[in-house]
Structure 1
Amino acid sequence: MVGSMMPGAVAMFALDASRVFGAAVAAALGQPLLRHEERRFADGEHKVRPLDPVRGGDVYVLQSLHGGPDLSADDKLCRLLFFLGAVRDAGAARLTAVVPYLAYARKDRRTQARDPVTTRYVAQLFEAVGVDRVVAVEVHNLVAFQNAFRCPVEHLDTRRLFIDALVNQLPGGPLAVASPDPGGVKRAQLFREMLEARTGRAVEPAFMEKRRSGGVVGGTLLTGQVRDATVIVVDDLIASGGTMVRAAEACRAAGATQVFALAAHGLFVGDAAAALTNPALSTTWVTDTVPPFRLEATVLAGHVQVVSAAPLVARAIARLHGDGSIVDLLGNPG
């Protein structure tokens, strides 16, 4: 039918700011991205619209909401919302926002009087433009993410992704998995359990204390046995890298032989290059949900391993389109 999608087809768009990652997802799906238009006007306003028909389709729109290199997180969010609204108005039967990095996910509660709960406000914006589902990769707080939205959400954790990439590079000897703060203990626990199941080796748990005062993060107390061990410090993101360095230095001081840092999202802001090259850290592993555009090539090549999350996102889209199980895809996360 003219102006409608082919029955049974998956329609996928990637906005310009995430075109490279979106193209990798589309390639893993075995189909091209659909066409769209983005125009910026002289007064700073913009327009985004689909160029291919979407009526009756199962439509997936991808945009990662990190800041830079050319647009802020707010700019990307606004463009994504406007495009989702246009796709809904154009007759999509089912509309899914695929947000590999979800902006404002860290602001999920009030820590001071009259604080905004920005995660919830972002969720309301997605719902206002008619989204049926939101897919995100490794959010900061899973419970807060699930509770913020009234529409269905899918959380793609990266445990299996990293373990598949890392397992053959682990040396013999003791292993430990550490959280850099008490709030990440559950994430580290789930990673440790999957690593034990995959390797058949015992993996010790550990975690760091973390205190914040006046915007300054501190705390050096390490709980757990890491002496003579290879320690994997697991977090959802790396911003300036200070938290990872603090954990790595504590592990080294407690006798760890080497420390790997793992995080889904590498924002690498501020003095991140100095953190990544700190001798306490052996290697830092991230995915490509946020491209490492802020790092010099020498730092990236010598100290960072990038694992593509595009195949994971592609498999999730394929399963959602076929009403399959995301739980089975991720390895039955707890």
Structure 2
Amino acid sequence: MTDTAKQTPIVDNRRSPLLVFSGQSNRPLAQSICDNLGIPLGKSSTEKFTNDNLIVRYEESLREGDIFIVQTFSTPVSDSIMELLMMIDAAKSASAGRVTAVIPYYSYARSDKKDSPRISIAGRLVADLLQEAGADRVLTMTLHAPQVHGFFKVPVDHLSADSVLAQHFRSCVDDASQGVVLAPDAGSIKRAAGIAHRLDAGLAMVDKQRISDTEVSPRAMIGDVEGKTVFIVDDEISTAGSLIETVDIARKMGARDVYVGVTHGVYTGPAIERIAALGVTQVASTNTVLVSEEKIAQADGKLAVLDVAPHFANAIRNIHTGESVSTLFN
């Protein structure tokens, strides 16, 4: 046996360095995540050429690092997705040890099935693109359709904002257990039931009927909200059209006060004007999507933004150290 064969292989047991970077869609959330982790936000830059092409560049070494890239799919969504794909690809090219895409709001989760002829199941397509770019793992929160989790062939950690919303509702009233958590449709009943359990409150649901491929109308209320404080919960608010219908039927059925809590406050189109005129005490969303100070001011004091950065920081810490993420759900 040669001397070379007898040599003991060099083994480096040091853990890969934890590095967190951010795209342009929600840098305040990324910075807050890093503050909770006690590390600086990684240095990177994104530029757009006059021909609308993007270029991303890391300004520090990523070699063998455990890289987490925070990018929410908010307006402009296509730019946000393209920037994330390029950041993942650049990180893999820079010899990153592992790359995790942290997507607080995965907007294409709404496109989870072929419910109309000749359309793309975009939720799966975007998942394929992320994996093709080189993502080794995905961390997200409150997918509109939980089955989108199955579109990925890499591990997906799916966080919940239920505890944050429940804690907020509890702080809004003297006794939340005397209230009723209202699901705006059958698809939201599981989420509503979980929050009702946390609050030890009642549970109700709006029964809806589909009028056409694009229109759904409330038909009846299942449960009792008369004289009660009602907590409406959903995964997101976009134009607030469905929210208006849910609030209207709750009021018609005798609800006393109405609070709204969602994970993703997208607030597009006429949403802010509708919320300002809506008969609710407050609409709360988390900071998975950046809500501008201008929108908060325009909503006549009805908007609240809740911080989920500690949830993402804890999940990133557990992923990095190899601990269970599911324990955080409790």
Aligned length: 316
The CA RMSD measured in Å over matched residues stands at 1.8
Q: Tell whether the 8 Å contact from 1:108 to 1:118 is kept in structure 2 after alignment.
A: yes
- Secondary structure of 2:290's match? coil
Shift in CA distance, 295/145, structure 1 to aligned 2, threshold 3 Å: farther
Q: Which has the larger radius of gyration?
A: 2
Shift in CA distance, 49/279, structure 1 to aligned 2, threshold 3 Å: closer
- Residue 195 in 1 paired to residue 194 in 2? no
Aligned counterpart in structure 1 of residue 56 of structure 2, from 41, 48, 56: 48
Shift in CA distance, 210/62, structure 1 to aligned 2, threshold 3 Å: farther
Q: Tell whether the 8 Å contact from 1:181 to 1:210 is kept in structure 2 after alignment.
A: no
Measured in 1, the distance between the counterparts of 2:117 and 2:293 equals 34
Shift in CA distance, 74/267, structure 1 to aligned 2, threshold 3 Å: same
TM-score by length of 1: 0.89
Unaligned runs of 5+ in 1: 1-5, 197-201
- Residue 215 in 1 paired to residue 219 in 2? no
Measured in 2, the distance between the counterparts of 1:38 and 1:62 equals 14
- Secondary structure of 1:277's match? helix
Aligned counterpart in structure 2 of residue 23 of structure 1, from 16, 20, 31: 31
**What residue in structure 1 maps to residue 20 of structure 2?**
12
Measured in 2, the distance between the counterparts of 1:234 and 1:63 equals 24
Aligned counterpart in structure 1 of residue 85 of structure 2, from 78, 81, 85: 81
TM superposition shift of 1:297: 4.2
Measured in 2, the distance between the counterparts of 1:189 and 1:237 equals 17
Q: Tell whether the 8 Å contact from 1:110 to 1:117 is kept in structure 2 after alignment.
A: yes
Q: Deviations over 1:7-37 (max 9, x none)?
A: 4421110123322221111111111011112
TM superposition shift of 1:328: 1.6
Shift in CA distance, 25/238, structure 1 to aligned 2, threshold 3 Å: same
- Secondary structure of 2:280's match? coil
- Residue 150 in 1 paired to residue 153 in 2? yes
TM superposition shift of 1:280: 2.5
TM superposition shift of 1:307: 0.4
Identity of aligned residues (%): 27
Q: Tell whether the 8 Å contact from 1:99 to 1:137 is kept in structure 2 after alignment.
A: yes
TM superposition shift of 1:216: 3.2
TM superposition shift of 1:303: 0.3
- Residue 35 in 1 paired to residue 47 in 2? no
- The residue type equivalent to 1:145 in the other structure is V
- Residue 140 in 1 paired to residue 139 in 2? no
- Residue 60 in 1 paired to residue 68 in 2? yes
TM-score by length of 2: 0.90
**What residue in structure 2 maps to residue 94 of structure 1?**
98
- The residue type equivalent to 2:156 in the other structure is V
Measured in 1, the distance between the counterparts of 2:290 and 2:207 equals 28
Q: Tell whether the 8 Å contact from 1:176 to 1:206 is kept in structure 2 after alignment.
A: no
- Secondary structure of 2:33's match? helix
Measured in 2, the distance between the counterparts of 1:279 and 1:45 equals 41
- The residue type equivalent to 2:240 in the other structure is G
Q: Tell whether the 8 Å contact from 1:245 to 1:281 is kept in structure 2 after alignment.
A: no
Q: Deviations over 1:49-94 (max 9, x none)?
A: 2121111111100111111xxxx10011001101101101111111
- Secondary structure of 1:105's match? helix
Shift in CA distance, 276/290, structure 1 to aligned 2, threshold 3 Å: same
Measured in 1, the distance between the counterparts of 2:50 and 2:310 equals 38
**What residue in structure 1 maps to residue 205 of structure 2?**
206
Q: Tell whether the 8 Å contact from 1:179 to 1:208 is kept in structure 2 after alignment.
A: no
Q: What does 1:176-191 correspond to in 2, within 5 Å?
A: 176-191=180-195
TM superposition shift of 1:266: 0.8
TM superposition shift of 1:299: 3.3
Unaligned runs of 5+ in 2: 1-13
Structure 1 stretches of at least 4 aligned residues deviating more than 4 Å after TM superposition:
none
**What residue in structure 1 maps to residue 328 of structure 2?**
329
- The residue type equivalent to 2:85 in the other structure is L
Aligned counterpart in structure 2 of residue 121 of structure 1, from 121, 125, 131: 125
Measured in 2, the distance between the counterparts of 1:229 and 1:28 equals 37
Measured in 2, the distance between the counterparts of 1:168 and 1:103 equals 29
TM superposition shift of 1:271: 1.4
Structure 1 stretch 168-177 or stretch 91-100: which is displaced more?
168-177
Measured in 1, the distance between the counterparts of 2:114 and 2:215 equals 18
Shift in CA distance, 139/83, structure 1 to aligned 2, threshold 3 Å: same
TM superposition shift of 1:119: 0.4
Q: Tell whether the 8 Å contact from 1:220 to 1:246 is kept in structure 2 after alignment.
A: no
Shift in CA distance, 131/214, structure 1 to aligned 2, threshold 3 Å: closer
- Residue 168 in 1 paired to residue 167 in 2? no
TM superposition shift of 1:109: 0.5
Structure 1 stretch 146-155 or stretch 217-226: which is displaced more?
217-226
**What residue in structure 2 maps to residue 199 of structure 1?**
none
